[in-house]
Each structure stands twice: as structure tokens, then as C-alpha cells.
Structure 1
Amino acid sequence: MIPLPSGWTPEEDVLGFFGPDSVSWRVHSDPTFSVGGLRALLLQALHPVAMDGVARFSGGFREEPWPRLIRTATYVDTLTFGTRTEAVRAAARVRDIHRRLGGVEETTGRTYRVDDPDLLLWVHCCEVDSLLSVARRAGVPLTDGDADRYVAEQVTAAELIGISPDEVPASVPELAAYFEEIRPALAVTPAARDAYRLIVLPPMPTWVRYLTPAQPAWGGLASLAVALLPQWARRMYSLPGLGLTDAAATAGVKAFRQTMLRLPQRARRSPIVWGGYERVSAADPAA
């Protein structure tokens, strides 16, 4: 049970729910976060009901996917690197939006609300699995114990969004068991196909597409994200990995990480991530 803000000390609030000693900070501040995030979106689209909610209620997603991608990354950054107060407020805003939305998914006939616990859990598990899997394949130094600790830490993120912690996988084996159990319910619906196309080939203004490196750069990230999906997910999309073998995908994401690590820290971290490190350092100069 997450305590109320009145139960936090100022030091706890500053550190946030994870802090610089957590595995979550290591994984979410790594350059592989962007590729893992795209992998998570591709995986999430395979749940017909969850994908229906995205297609219905992420306003303008078909025409302009960038705002949703930015909002999602900002939310995860805030939960991870913000103060506890900031994280709780961000989660409350999302819960308030979710509780007002619902619909009927055509292929299954299911009536749902966006905040149904099983849908929230699916989104959570896709995110955790993707960020962890991509980080490990890219060479982020994580032991098996670190990986289990990361999954356990992220139970807090699930609880903040409204999932009972008892229902959330708290280790790598539990996470794998969750995916094994849910796979029969997954499908590539027309909405999932649309989401795939938008992620791999997002709409861009003509001048951006042809006069800047944005399209090939994004295409490289998206191709990596597809290739790093589980084999069963790639088979569902009928895309083995855009011609990349598992070994080639691993080599590719390792090369991407090493390239990004050569950039200045401020260029490869969002302002929220950088602000978290600065805030903690100011509170504890020895940190």
C-alpha cells in the first residue's frame, strides 16, 4: 500500500518512489529507453481490447501519433524520476481520464472501461518486459537478480495507476508466466495493423521526410523495436523482424546504445530525467 503524501518525509518525497540506487533509474535513464518504449507499443497493440481503447480515445493518434508518444514517455519519466508528489499527481491525472472512457470492442464483443484492471495490467507488463528486455540485450549491465529487482520495483508503478499489487508480476519468471497465460487472448486486429504502420512509418511533413534525417533515423529505431519483439509476437504480425535475425537485432541495439552513450548526457536524457539527478544531488551532495 502506497502511503499518503502526509506520511512521507521531505527526504522520501525528493527521492521519489525509486531513487538513484534503484534498477529502475538505471534502466529508464539508459539510451535504450526509446527503443524499449516502441517495442512496448507494438506489443500492447496485440491486445484487441486495449488497442481498441487507444484507437478510440487517443485523439488524433492516426493523424499525429507524436503527442501520444511524448505523453507516454513523459508519464514514465515522471513516475520514475519525479518527486513522489509529482508521480502521484501524474498518475491521478491519468486515472481521472481513464475512468471516463469505455466502449465495445468489435472483434471480441467485449464491453470495457479503459481502467479495467486486466487492461491496465497488460499495458504495464508490456512496458516492463520491453524496457528490461531491450536494456539487457543492448548490454546494460544487469544481473538476473537486478532484472528481478526491476520487475519488483515496477509493482509500485502499477499500483500508482490503480492495479492491485497482488495481481502484478514481481519477478522475471512471474512476468514470463503472465505472457504465456495471456497469449491465447491476443490477436492482430485492424486497429493493431494501423498502430504498427503508424509506429514504423509515422506521418511526417513533406519537408521533414525529404530534407532531414528524421525518417531514416526513426525507421532504424522502429526496425530495431520490431526485431526485438518476442518471436511469437513477430509471428503474429507476420513480420519475422524486417530481415534482422535475433543476433543481428541484438548487435544493432548494442551499436545504437554505444553510439548514444558518446553523446553529452543532456542530449540523451529528457529534462525530467536530468532534473531528477540534479534534485537528488542537491539534496545529498555525496550522491
Structure 2
Amino acid sequence: MAGKAENVQPHDDYGFFGPDSVSWKVWSYPTSLTVGFQRAVVVEELDPALVASVDETRAIRDRPRTRYDRTLRYFAMVVFAGSREMTKAADILVKVHSKGIGIEPLSGEPYDANDPKSQLWIHLTAWHSILYTYEKFGPGKLSEAEETRYWRECAIAAEFQTCDVADIPRDRAGVREYFEYMRPRLVGSDVARSTMDHLLHAEVMLPPTPALFRPVTVLIGRALRIATIATMPQWMREMSGLRQGRLLDRLITPVMKIAFRLPQFNRRVKLALLKRLSPATVPVVAPVLLGIPPSKPITFTPAEARELYGYPKPAEAHLEWRAKQHAKVFEGKQKPSDAGLIESEPILGSIA
């Protein structure tokens, strides 16, 4: 069983944060890889360039289960994985994203999943959603010092993306300013609304369920949908075409607080639930939840890890390959190569 300590392999080191970090405190709570993750991937779709890339690949429609599993695994790796494993994953993700290029249909402008602005939007939406759902459905607000550290750690994690770390807000006010800046740039297009609604049906991401337990799965999916919408501001709901009354917003909060508090008391139950949600994520999170120390109890900075393992900064990675992908799509009018996606399978999980 995934929860048995003897079957769990320790990480090589503490990666980039470690047990004293605020990131471990927040991201290890059950809200993070459930409603927090769902909120992040739903809200992201309001970016026209991002949703164009998602819609073009069709991954969340054709293979929602594996797409969910791989993305959740990567989210967890950033915070919990060892330095070598995470640095390698960040490098291969650039090659995976090289496939996400094309023409955004609303503006007619080219989009690129490796674009720094797109990566900044994805990164901040994720870290904000994880913290917001922790506060709303978990233990509550962090102390001022903890929150300052959380956003500082968010900036460290941003070094695994192609965005500029200098653009990462360092406090709640800065995050609000960023979302206000983005608000007029977001679009609730038909594609965005359809994609968001699809992602709000959590049951499509789950493995097949025996008929006897299917009603329970549907109920859980419905609760997650209500909880996710309850975290979205009114303007975002209107843009997304999502309707939900204030009464549901209020009622779902105590329900989710209790639901998330129960597995928090039992690490093995939490792991069992995670195995159901995302099997590929279990090896990343299990050593942390079970308190299994790494081979070397040390942390690195992303720069130290890149130098140690021989990887360039993500913004400078695979430039020749990315240029070939651009030429193939924008000049040759062909589909981009799947080579990066296939190469990522040993690191991020199967795409089958």
C-alpha cells in the first residue's frame, strides 16, 4: 500500500523549501491538491492565450485523467521533490510547452505556452489559489510573517518557470494589483466557459468508479465544484458564466472545513485519498506526509541546483528545439512535434 513507510522511497534531499517552510505547511494540507488545484486550473482558462493552447491540444478532453495526474504531480514536485528530480522536471516542461504554440483566434496573435507572461499567470494563479483555499477551507489565515515568507517562497518556485522572478509580488497587496492588472486582459469566451465548466466536473478526472460508489463520486465532485466557485469573486463568475447563490457559498464552507480536517488527522488516510486522486503524485508527497527524511537533509536554491546538475534557466532552455517548433507551426503550417511530451513520461507520468 502507498501509505506504508517501507514502500516509500526517500527523496535525495529537501529540495528547495524543507519542513520548516510555510510552503510545506500550506501545500501539505488537504485543500491544496484538491479544491486549491481545481481553482487554479479553472481560473487559468480566462487567459485567452492559455485556453487557446489547452483547446488546441485537446488533452483535458481526450485524456483528462492523465492530464490531471501529470499536472498535479508537477505542482507537488515544485514544493516537495528533491532538487535533482525537480530541476530535471522544470527543464523537460519547457520542451513539453514547446508544443503549446499557435494563433489565438480572438486576437489573431501568436501564443506560446513558454511565454513569460503566460507562465507568470499560471504560477501566480496556482500559488494564490492554494493559499486562498487553505485560508477559506483550512486552518485560516497565516500570520503576517508567515505570509511574507510564503510569497518569498513563491518567488523561489517561479525560478522553475520562464517568467521573470522580479515580476513576482511579495505580499497580498501586490497579488491584488497583479489580478487587477490582468482583469481587463481576461476573456470569458465560449471556449473559456466550456473549458472551465468541464474542469469543474471533478469526476471526469477520477478513475473509473464501480456503479455502487458512483453516486458518492458525483457528490464529491459537486461539492468541489460549489467550493471552487465559492472562492471566485463575482466579476470572475460573471465573466465565466458561472451562477451560484450566496447561500451555497456560505453553506459549503463549514462542510469543506470538516471534510478536509478529517484526513489531516491521519496521514495514511490522506495518502489513500491522494492515491485515488493522483497515483503519480503519491511518490512525491508520501515521504513528506510520513515524515521520512531525505538521504541528505539539505536544501538548495534553484541556481545552485542548476549549476550542480548542469541545467540552464528555463527561459534559456531548449532554444533550438523551440525555434524548430515555431518554424514547423508558423512557417510550415504543420502540427508541432510531440517529442517533448513523450520524453517527459518517465518524469511526469504516462500520457496514455
What is the TM-score of this pair, normalised by structure 2? 0.70
Structure 1 residue runs without a partner (length 5+): 1-11
Structure 1 pair 259–193 and aligned structure 2 pair: CA distance change class (3 A) = same
Counterpart in 1 of 2:335? none
SS of 1:112's equivalent in the other structure is strand
Q: Output aligned runs, 1:230-249, within 5 Å.
A: 230-241=233-244, 244-249=247-252
Measure how far apart 1:207 and its partner are: 7.2
Measure how far apart 1:205 and its partner are: 9.8
The 2-side partners of 1:114 and 1:197 are apart by 22
Structure 1 pair 219–64 and aligned structure 2 pair: CA distance change class (3 A) = farther
CA contact (8 A) 2:76 2:284 kept: yes
Amino acid at match of 2:268: R
Counterpart in 2 of 1:170? 170
Amino acid at match of 1:274: A
The 2-side partners of 1:148 and 1:209 are apart by 45
CA contact (8 A) 1:79 1:157 kept: yes
The 1-side partners of 2:217 and 2:243 are apart by 25
CA contact (8 A) 1:82 1:276 kept: no
Measure how far apart 1:258 and its partner are: 1.9
The 2-side partners of 1:23 and 1:74 are apart by 20
CA contact (8 A) 2:200 2:225 kept: yes
Counterpart in 1 of 2:270? 268
Is 1:82 the counterpart of 2:81 in the alignment?
Answer: yes
Counterpart in 2 of 1:5? none
Looking at CA atoms only, which structure, 1 or 2, has the larger radius of gyration?
Answer: 2
Amino acid at match of 1:208: T
Counterpart in 1 of 2:38? 38
The 2-side partners of 1:26 and 1:68 are apart by 26
CA contact (8 A) 1:149 1:171 kept: no
Measure how far apart 1:60 and its partner are: 3.2
The 2-side partners of 1:147 and 1:39 are apart by 20
Amino acid at match of 1:15: Y
Measure how far apart 1:170 and its partner are: 2.0
Q: Deviations over 1:252-287 (max 9, x none)?
A: 33122223324x302314331122454436656xxx
The 1-side partners of 2:288 and 2:259 are apart by 24
Q: Deviations over 1:171-218 (max 9, x none)?
A: 211111100111001111222122222223354899738432222212
Counterpart in 2 of 1:54? 54
Amino acid at match of 1:258: R
Is 1:216 the counterpart of 2:219 in the alignment?
Answer: yes
Counterpart in 2 of 1:280? 293
Of structures 1 and 2, the one with the larger relative CO (CA 8 A, separation 6+) is 2
Number of paired residues?
Answer: 271
SS of 1:14's equivalent in the other structure is coil
Of 108-117 and 28-37, deviating more is 108-117
